[in-house]
Amino acid sequence: MGKIIMIGAMKGGVGKSVMAFNLAYSLQKKGKKVLAVDFDPQSNLTTCFGAEDVDVAIGDLMMSVLEEEELPDRSEYIWERNGVDFIPSSIGLSAVEAKLRLEMGTEKMLSSILEPLRGDYDYILIDCQPSLGVLVLNALVAADGAIIPAQTQEFSRKALKAITDIIGQVQATINPNLKLLGILPTMVDNTAMSKDTRKVFEDNYGELVFPMNISRSVTAAYSSKEKKALCFKANSKLGEEYRQFADEVVRRITA
């Protein structure tokens, strides 16, 4: 059965969706069957995949479950781009989130959508919105593992503690099988701030901090614009970082 991995952060601007996009293709390059799920109303991952004006997005599926309606055929909401499947998002997911806040017992809705898909994939990646609301809770309940991208800047420390605390609460209550796979330092450069912050991460979280960094580089933005993962670019430093990261994710989720 496939493994479900959520990718979440308390704050935006940490390179989360670009990371999810490149991780998906790095895993696919290793011969894995991958489904990426855009679970963020901002739909940045959907943009990375080059999907526009989708008819059925993840919010529509969540609404169907909420209203106890049958889900549409998979061909209507699972897209394929260069060997990676994905479920797109749209701004409509925000309206679904508002409805979920008013309902009891909605934390397993995403799980009900993804569980039937496990058998078709080696990995299902969930790109979450930067918050700690009901959507992120759904992702944590559905997931086997969680990855936290964290920018190596001073203001990341409180955000990191907030999301690790929530993961601990979910592990202790709703989803005891959830595993914190690790914290990935992103947008790393040669400044003293970046180096010092990574050291603080390591001091506080030890081996949970991934041994590699994702460097700050304009090529990440070009990757999103060109809809092409960096792992396919020859002699790309970032591409090699993502390939190493994918190897470590596989090692940790299967340990």
Mean pLDDT of 239-247: 93
- At residue 247 the predicted structure's pLDDT band, cuts being 50, 70 and 90, is very high
Instruction: State residue 14's pLDDT score.
Output: 59
pTM over 0.85: yes
Q: Which amino acid is at 146?
A: A
Measured between alpha carbons, how far is 98 from 75 in angstroms, rounded to an integer?
27
Q: What is the pLDDT of residue 155?
A: 66
pLDDT digits (tens, 9 = 90+) for 43-53: 999 999 988 77
Phi-psi region of 158 (alpha: psi -120 to 50; beta: other; left: phi over 0): alpha
- For 170-184, the pLDDT digits (tens) are 999 999 999 999 999
Query: What percent of the chain shows pLDDT beyond 90?
Result: 63
Average pLDDT, the chain: 90
pLDDT of res. 102:
79
User: What pLDDT digit, counting tens, does each position of 126-164 carry?
Assistant: 999 888 789 999 999 999 999 999 887 766 677 788 889
**Structure-model confidence comparison of residues 76 and 187, the more confident one:** 76
pLDDT at 224 over 90: no
Least confident of 47-51, 83-87, 193-197: 193-197
Question: Residue 206: is it exposed, middle or buried by C-beta count within 10 angstroms (0-12/13-18/19+)?
Answer: exposed
**Which one, of 64, 63, 69, 36, lies nearest residue 50 by Cα?**
36
Inform me whether the pLDDT recorded for 233 exceeds 90: no
- Whole-angstrom distance, CA of residue 7 vs CA of residue 34: 14
220 has pLDDT over 80: no
* 254 in Cβ contact with 179 (< 8 Å): no
Residue 103, pLDDT score: 80
Sheet strands side by side (includes 123-128): 79-81, 84-87, 34-39, 123-128, 3-7, 145-151, 179-186
